Amino acid sequence: MATELTSISKGATPDGAGDEQSAAAAVRQMFNSIAPRYDLLNHVLSANIDRLWWWRTARRFRSILTNPDAAVLDICCGTGDMTMALLKHRPVASRPIIAADFAREMLARGARKFAAPSAKHGTAIAVEADALHLPLRAQSLDLVTTAFGFRNLANYDDGLREFFRVLKPGGQVGILDFSEPDGLIGKLYQVYFRRVLPAIGRLICGADGPYNYLPTSVSKFPPPPEMLAMMRAAGFTDVTWTPYTFGIAGLFTGYRGIPPA
């Protein structure tokens, strides 16, 4: 079963990418190029619903986040909005969240957000790192999150195995990403996602590629049952998918080992 899923859903395949290395390079270059207008585009294209998705995801893990000693990684953090949502649950003087991304221009914008002092919440540190080769010790983290970044990895199975490697026994993973809803909502979503969204992205960003890539990447991303099977194959237990906003997006969760009582 795992072999079949791997062959169907290996990883992101931007136009012109012939292997995993070129796919990763294309994704990095694409996100670096749109970094200056990334936040504006996200909020416009989602009608600010993305803020609700980050908030719900952070709330899901607040039992971990409120522990000041918990070690937390937000990988593929982009410009840091998911990290900022997580920080709202971190106590003052808690262990900093590691916010990592391999697109330097995106990460630089996130770092500026993290640098703003807060008297109420914890802190984050920006680290330039590849999700498939994390510079972290095995079994060193209590929580790994990623928001709308996992879909862009060059190899989904390798990404899941790397997340599993760095989590402590009982640690959790949270993967927030887009999905393709069914029924009438799904049909309306397809029209917006494939026709309206690229046009708006092109108008604001001035480039075709990134916002033509987005709907293509979502259509190639494993549907929830396949993604959950891939997570189990990587070793995760108690895996779940929670749909957000009629299934336009959703949160995948799982544990390394037996969930704590």
Identify whether the C-beta of residue 72 lies closer than 8 Å to the C-beta of residue 140.
no
Q: Quick one: pLDDT band at residue 18, thresholds 50, 70, 90?
A: confident
The residue type of 192 is Y
3-state secondary structure of 42: helix
Half-sphere exposure at residue 128, Cβ-oriented, CA atoms within 13 angstroms: 10
Which run of H or of E encompasses 149?
A: none
Q: Quick one: pLDDT band at residue 207, thresholds 50, 70, 90?
A: low
Q: Which two tokens stand for residue 105?
A: 């221009």
Q: What percent of the chain has pLDDT over 70?
A: 93
Is the four-CA dihedral 88, 89, 94, 98 of positive or negative sign?
negative
> Per-residue pLDDT tens for 73-102?
999 999 999 999 999 999 999 999 999 999
> Per-residue pLDDT tens for 116-145?
877 689 999 999 999 999 999 999 999 999
Paired sense of beta strands 167-178 and 249-256, if any: antiparallel
- How many of the other CB atoms lie within 10 Å of CB of 212? 17
Residues 6+ apart with CB under 8 A from 229: 1, 2, 5
Q: Is-above-0.85 flag for pTM?
A: yes
Superfamily of structural domain 2-256: Vaccinia Virus protein VP39 (3.40.50.150)
Q: Where are the domains of the chain?
A: 2-256
3-state secondary structure of 146: strand
Identify whether the C-beta of residue 82 lies closer than 8 Å to the C-beta of residue 51.
no
